[in-house]
A and B are shown apart, each in its own frame.
Chain A
Amino acid sequence: MENIPTSENDGFLMNNIFLAFYLALKEIIRNRGRFLLVSLVIALITLLVLFIAALGEGLATANRQYVGNLNAELIVFLEKSDYIIASSRLDTNTERTVRRVDGVADVGPIYTSSTEIVSLEEPLKVSLLGVEAGRPGMPPLIEGRDFRGGSARETVIDRGVALRSGIKVGDTIEIRSTQGTEDEFFRLTVVGMVEGQSYFFQPTLFVPPATWELIRPQSEADLNSDTAYPNILAVKLMDPNQVEIMAQRLTSNVKNIEVTDIETTINNIPGYSAQQGTVQTQGFFTLLIGVLVIGGFFQIQILQKVPQIGVLKAIGSSNGVVGWAAVIQIIVVTAIGVAIGGVFTYLFSLGLPPTIPFVFNGTRSLIAIALLLFIGPLGGMVSIIYAVRIEPLKALRLG
């Protein structure tokens, strides 16, 4: 058998790629109406996939944002609380004991509850977190100052609260808290603002621990005690790379605790994993439908083009030209569809109220876009293989 010299092969390859682009783009331009319709179908699939991805990201963010942004590497829970924040209630001495363990840089107690701001036209439900200023658990300020210690009637608010209510630093807000069976109202001065601190689907109010104990909703039994018990401790390590070693050290040195990292804490937020699993399954099936729709379209198109591909091959076009032309066409049509779908989703997101957790610029949206660009060629794979295998004899009625 004869072989084609390498330099000739290189030139041939370049010419093939150029021809593939030429054929693919000419066909798209000359049949732009038909291809635009396919792109619009892909755009609708993109809208659906991105909407689910952005909603998933928004839900995840609204649920975990505070924990995810903690300035700490480890979280200390009460033993057997299964890393569930609401189930954990630590002894007041635990913080001091943890602080003394070798390798611990700082410890901050975190007290969790929820309340309602009533000094607004529409009451706003918020997470009420007790933290110590300057300790792990207190986010960095973007405006104003930290609250004072003790039982100061001061609060630092999450920007999410400000966006939804119009509350500013310097304002006084009133919250409603059920104490036993009675509603009580407390006034707090907003002294500072932080951002990105949503917890359990609600924007957050930060107050000092003593204030938290005073104003949090309490049962009749709780009213007899004025001691605040932290739910968890945020632990900052001297060496952030020693997470596993320090978790073991803390567990063996401190009684009645269990220790884990931030990721596990997030995954154990009640409902978080189930919710994310549901959203991801929806996204997966939408992508699967996308693959089938795109695959089906291109397969029908290739079947219609069998004689044309036969002629192309009979007059001397290689399988490479035919195959690459199909690949390029699928990529271009998919890319246009994804771009249109992306713009649709962005415009759509502008019209959504802030109460709907929708994060379009998140990692998931980028992953979804990458996957959408990939599903075009994946869906068209069968048609590409089919195109390459078409016999040129089809042009001569013998195939």
Chain B
Amino acid sequence: MNSIALEVKDLVKTFALDGTTINAVDNVSFQVHSGEFIALVGPSGSGKTTMLSILAALLSPTSGQVLIDGQDLSQMNEKRRVKLRREKIGFTFQSNNLIPFLTAQENVEFMLRLNGQADKAGRMRSAEILARLGLSDRLHNLPAQLSGGQQQRVAIARALIHNPAVVLADEPTASLDTERAFQVVETFAKLVHENNRAGIMVTHDLRMCQYVDRVLQMQDGKLVRVVDTKAEIMELAQGTMKH
């Protein structure tokens, strides 16, 4: 078994809204190992994006612990959290993923610049990873000159280039057509496995789960189901699983 890249213990996040307390994440615990790709699914308002925000060190939990590569987020000040995001976490977002005035290669290299690794080897690595994602002829194109799928692939390259412990993806297929969506998630899963990273994808599209190793289903802030056998995952992805 690979090492634990991400560990969530008794996580709680509450929000106050119009005098009412809402449990966005309610006592959730799980682990993700290096080389494992999991999907966080659930209906709108189930708490999956709040969960992702906490895992990404963008939001502080009300209680509980999140350990990334052994480092406890709750013990960190903002400066440390920024450093952790830069070094240990890779990110892809639903939209507005890329810096619009940087080319595809510059967007990928930007992660290396943030980490002080933008040397010749880093530049070669960014070109290689983009080539592996089928973008060798798009290195010098600006995001506006790329299709939605190509932009997501650049974002995936950026999320992985600095070898983070954890790669987080927030609805990476939301703005793509079905064919592109499958390609992007398949590529993402492949790279997570090959690079031995822990990958977590938030999605509302269960069809995308066919490429993951485990599915965590949330509802009303609670972790209500864990699907971890390939057969069950395929049933879930194909919509044939019994609830």
Q: Which residues of A contact B (CB under 8 A)?
A: 1-2, 4, 11, 15, 18-19, 22-23, 26-27, 30-31, 307-308, 310-318, 391-393, 395-398
Contacts of A31 in B (CB 8 A): 101
The reply on B147 being an interface residue by CB < 8 A is no
Among candidates B59, B79, B100, B113, residue contacting A22 with C-beta atoms closer than 8 Å: B113
Q: Which residues of A contact B158 (CB under 8 A)?
A: 315
Select from chain A the residue with minimum beta-carbon distance to B52. A396
Contacts of B111 in A (CB 8 A): 315-316
Contact of B124 with A by CB under 8 A = no
Q: Is the CB of A2 within 8 A of B80?
A: yes
- Considering only residues 86-100 of chain B, those with a C-beta below 8 Å from chain A are 86-87, 89, 91, 93-100
Interface residues of B (CB under 8 A from A): 49-50, 52-53, 56, 58-59, 75-77, 79-80, 82-83, 85-87, 89, 91, 93-102, 106, 110-111, 113-116, 142, 158, 170
Nearest-CB residue, chain A, relative to B202:
A396
Complexed CA–CA distance, A212 and B97 (Å):
83
Once A314-B58, A316-B82, A396-B56 are accepted as A-B contacts, the answer to whether A26 and B93 lie under 8 Å apart by CB is no
Complex CA distance for A1 and B98, rounded to whole angstroms:
32
Q: With the chains together, A22 CA to B142 CA distance in Å?
A: 16
A19 and B76 contact, Cβ closer than 8 Å, known pairs A308-B96, A312-B99, A396-B170: no
**In the complex, are the beta carbons of A26 and B101 less than 8 A apart?**
yes
Residues of A within 8 A of B110 (CB): 315
Who on chain B is nearest to A391 by CB?
B58
Nearest B residue to A305 via CB reads B100
A396 touches B58 (CB 8 A): yes
Contact B93 A311 (CB under 8 A): yes
CB-CB under 8 A from A312, the residues of chain B are 99
Residues of chain B within 8 A (CB-CB) of A391 are 58
What's the minimum C-beta distance from A6 to chain B, rounded to whole angstroms?
Answer: 13
Apart from A4-B79, A313-B82, A314-B93, what 4 extra A-B contacts exist at CB < 8 Å?
Answer: A30-B142, A317-B86, A317-B114, A396-B93
